[in-house]
Amino acid sequence: MNNILNSYDVIIIGGGAAGLMCAMTAAQRGRRVLVIEKSNKVGKKILMSGGGRCNFTNLYVEPDRFLSANRHFFKSALSRYTQWDFIALVEKHGIAYHDKGQGQLFCDDSAKAIVIMLLAECEQAGVEIRTHCEVLSISHSDHYEVQSNDGTFAAESLVVATGGLSIPTLGGSGYGYQLAEQFGLQSLPLKPALVPFTFTDGFKQMSTKLSGLAVEARISTTDKSFLEPVLFTHRGLSGPAVLQLSSYWQEGMVVMMDLLPTQDAVQLLKEFKQHSPKGLLRTQLAQYLPKHLVAELAALWWPALAETALAEIPDKVLQTVAENINGWQLKPAGTEGYRTAEVTLGGVCTDALSSKTMECKTQPGLYFVGEVVDVTGHLGGFNFQWAWASGYTAGQVA
């Protein structure tokens, strides 16, 4: 291998969060590292994340914030490189940040600061980065040989940090899963996650009218629920609560939305009737919910009694309205798919990887890190923390 001109110790396929973290970590150990990135720049998903401010980690990194077929696999990496380690790196580079709530840490200014930080660490450690470099084929004998449109490269270690299928306009692809298959690894079923719901029934007309309106609500499946903002869109529902639930939702499932999650709506409507008997239900509800939303609910749930005083609305009708407010049943037709999904659920089966090194158990020198692996975090900085942790873990040994 030493006779090959473009020889390295480690080649990393993918210049995203996990790839760059792995590169700087390996290079800091004295390894000669090459990062291959097919697009025109590294860190594209970092740059667009968090509305351009990058929700780079979370103060409360707990196992229940992650999904994987193996509920224990990710614990090792997350303990080896914690949120506090990344925060220390951010502070070392003088990047101002803030807690947006629920431990979500964002840059005060631009996500560019995170990319600049990673590139500075890579440069200082001597990492070589090649953009516009597309892999054509990879083979292995006593080393890994990567043929690309920019030449042939060789290394004893190969790290796959290609990400998933999410947001293809930023470079998302299935190449990492193809590589896994090439070397005999299985991938678990893939689906878009952290993604808005779409509707094709009558609800779509209502959501279109309410597009841009957000409410604090609890949205649930039978075994999972999230209490966060829900956003009505021209295609259906989005917002943090919906994105979170999408990782657990399966096609055909009904979801429940509680519009007054801190209120017993039955009791509330009884109080309306008792204290404001001459008032209108929609007027009273508008104290708790946006007026436009209440108008749509009135047309949906009590259209014939919209102009009727509360005292004259039968208790049975109020009971039904209250039950709908606390448990509105909705059936998404699907999601917006990989086009807007923040991550890909599923991926390279963790049974084939060492949790302590991210190395393939049956293919020495081959590592998988980041989104390509079957580990998916909740919204709120957890997927970045997995990228940093898995990249660091592989970088320590690759």
Question: What mean pLDDT comes out for the span 13-17?
Answer: 97
* The pLDDT value given to residue 3: 45
Binned at pLDDT 50, 70 and 90, residue 168 comes out as confident
Dist. CA 67–CA 64, nearest whole Å: 8
Dist. CA 166–CA 171, nearest whole Å: 8
**Residue 265: exposure state from Cβ atoms within 10 A (0-12, 13-18, ≥19):** buried
* The pLDDT value given to residue 172: 79
Whether residue 2 is predicted with pLDDT greater than 70 in this model: the reply is: no
Residue 99, classed as helix, strand or coil, is: strand
Dist. CA 181–CA 188, nearest whole Å: 11
Binned at pLDDT 50, 70 and 90, residue 258 comes out as very high
Residue 366, classed as helix, strand or coil, is: strand
Each residue's pLDDT tens digit, 118-141: 999 999 999 999 999 999 999 999
CA torsion angle for 33, 38, 41, 42 (degrees, to 10)? -50
H helix runs in 247-344, sequence order: 265-275, 281-285, 291-301, 315-326
* The pLDDT value given to residue 173: 86
The residue behind tokens 């860190």 is: 43
* The pLDDT value given to residue 270: 95
Each residue's pLDDT tens digit, 271-298: 999 999 999 999 999 999 999 999 999 9
Q: Which residues contact 5 (CB under 8 A, 6 or more apart)?
A: none
Average pLDDT, the chain: 96
The residue behind tokens 């890909």 is: 344
* The pLDDT value given to residue 5: 63
* The pLDDT value given to residue 4: 53
Dist. CA 16–CA 18, nearest whole Å: 6
Each residue's pLDDT tens digit, 204-228: 999 999 999 999 999 999 999 999 9
**Domains of the chain and any CATH numbers:** 7-191+344-395 (3.50.50.60), 196-335 (2.40.30.10)
Binned at pLDDT 50, 70 and 90, residue 150 comes out as very high
* Percent above pLDDT 70 for the chain: 99
* The pLDDT value given to residue 353: 98
Whether residue 23 is predicted with pLDDT greater than 90 in this model: the reply is: yes
Provide the 10 A C-beta neighbour count for residue 210: 20
Each residue's pLDDT tens digit, 336-358: 999 999 999 999 999 999 999 99
User: Tokens in use for 316?
Assistant: 């049975």
Each residue's pLDDT tens digit, 226-245: 999 999 999 999 999 999 99
